[in-house]
Structure 1
Amino acid sequence: MRRNPVPFLIAEGCLYAAFLGLDLFLPGSGLDVPIKYLSILLCFCYLLGHSRNTDLRLTRVALAFTLLADLFLLVLDRWYTAGVASFCVVQVLYLIRLQRAGRRPWAHTLAFRGGLAAVLLAAGGALGVLDPLTALTLLYFSQLTANAFTALSLGRRGRMLAVGLFLFMGCDLCVGLCNLAPLLPEAPVLVLLPFAQVGMWLFYLPSQVLITLSAGKLCD
């Protein structure tokens, strides 16, 4: 049975407006944290009770790991390596969704993704920032990027997932800029820092809503 998404979208829209208002007018208050986490929990709950569709089940498990990652990174604000590792699992699950839909040879897929990860890790090493957390983050981001472009290549079937993953990338770029600010205090790009501080969740919740709504649409 297909579930009506309108109540879900209305609820998410209300939560979105609430935490963006707090981010803009009461930054740093901490009042936004439970609202943000609730918005991701709602994505997971929306898929509960559905169905025998494997693509939907994979998305539901991915959202469970997303909740775990946000527990570490947002709510507890500690154990960042565990949080990023959880997001790595999320991207592996989306890779499986995309492989089932596109039926590309695994050897080609893994070669491309391994090469992309190697390039990012080499860049991190060249910049002298390659500690274990940064290495894991670059590995995660390489797989998110690959998933976004792979979803785009699926055409109409993958469009909603692709947009969600590109918004996810936008969130992560904002996070990266905020984290790099202390290391690059004179960098011209820091003019974007005030936007990045709000942009993280400006991009993140819509990304998760679109990914949630994409569940079950890639294949049976």
Structure 2
Amino acid sequence: MRRDVTFVLIQGCLYAAFLTLDLAVPGSGWDVPLKYLSILLCLLFVLRVGHGSDRALMGTALSFTLLADLFLLVLDRCYPMGVASFCVVQLLYLARILRTRPGAIPLRLALRALVTWAALTAVWILSALEPLTCLSLFYFAQLVCNAGDALTLGSRYRLFALGLLLFIGCDLCVGLQNLSAWLPQAPAPLLAFSRVGMWLFYLPSQVLLALSVKRK
């Protein structure tokens, strides 16, 4: 419990620091090391307190999260590699979910395939289908399905489910930012919130996911 409290307090300090930078001096770049450090600490926490195969699975998922943030946050390029890394993260979270109810695997996979197909079809109809869009839609479909499945897993996975729901909040803000050029009627305050909202949701989501790891 003491390690949990220390972890949350450190993350809270980093969270307050980079949100202050985002609000006071947006675009300065000073927030980037703090944000990346916060995700690295999530990985180190899981490796330190986790146990057994869940430690390995969650550690691998957070390693790919760190890799995704290297491309998307630190380097700010190679976006397909970043999104592809997040796809791996969601597939690893899917593996965690499937381990709890192996009998439901066919139904869960069929639902995911249906959701992904529907999303790709909608974008194809809009003539906006391209590699990065396909990756993004596949990733987001898996995230939404993972969050829905996690909500059915009971109290043991409550932090896991809440972390995934906050992950969705982050990605909705990312999507709003990326689509801002196509949404000229979007309220300016909403767009301004989405810029800060990405990490407003993202770090809490990763902290909760880290805290959900099975302990020694």
Same fold (TM over 0.5): yes
Q: Deviations over 1:54-108 (max 9, x none)?
A: 1222011100000000000000000000000000000011001011112233221
Read off the aligned partner of 1:123 and give its amino acid letter.
A
CA contact (8 A) 1:40 1:205 kept: yes
* Structure 2 residue matching 1:38: 3-state secondary structure: helix
Distance (Å, rounded) in 1 between the aligned partners of 2:128 and 2:204: 30
TM-score (norm 1): 0.93
> Which residue matches 2:6?
7
Distance (Å, rounded) in 2 between the aligned partners of 1:189 and 1:104: 46
RMSD between aligned residues: 1.7
Distance (Å, rounded) in 1 between the aligned partners of 2:187 and 2:168: 17
* Structure 2 residue matching 1:48: 3-state secondary structure: helix
1:200 pairs with 2:198: yes
| Structure 1 residue ranges without an equivalent (≥5) | none
Read off the aligned partner of 1:195 and give its amino acid letter.
F
- How far is 1:126 from its partner? 2.3
CA contact (8 A) 1:168 1:204 kept: yes
Distance (Å, rounded) in 2 between the aligned partners of 1:100 and 1:177: 34
> Which residue matches 1:142?
141
Which range is displaced more, 119-128 or 165-174?
119-128
CA contact (8 A) 1:174 1:196 kept: yes
* Structure 1 residue matching 2:103: 3-state secondary structure: coil
Distance (Å, rounded) in 2 between the aligned partners of 1:40 and 1:52: 20
CA contact (8 A) 2:47 2:55 kept: no
Distance (Å, rounded) in 2 between the aligned partners of 1:68 and 1:28: 22
* Structure 1 residue matching 2:47: 3-state secondary structure: coil
Give the 5 Å matches for 1:19-30: 19-30=18-29
> Which residue matches 1:126?
125
1:213 pairs with 2:206: no
Give the 5 Å matches for 1:31-180: 31-50=30-49, 52-180=51-179
Distance (Å, rounded) in 2 between the aligned partners of 1:31 and 1:138: 30
- How far is 1:194 from its partner? 0.5
TM-score (norm 2): 0.95
Number of matched residues? 216
Name the structure with the higher helix share.
2
Which range is displaced more, 16-25 or 151-160?
151-160
Distance (Å, rounded) in 1 between the aligned partners of 2:47 and 2:81: 25
* Structure 1 residue matching 2:181: 3-state secondary structure: coil
1:182 pairs with 2:181: yes
* Structure 2 residue matching 1:170: 3-state secondary structure: helix
Q: 1:3 to 1:56 in 2, by over 3 A?
A: farther
Give structure 1 regions of 4+ aligned residues with deviation exceeding 4 angstroms: none
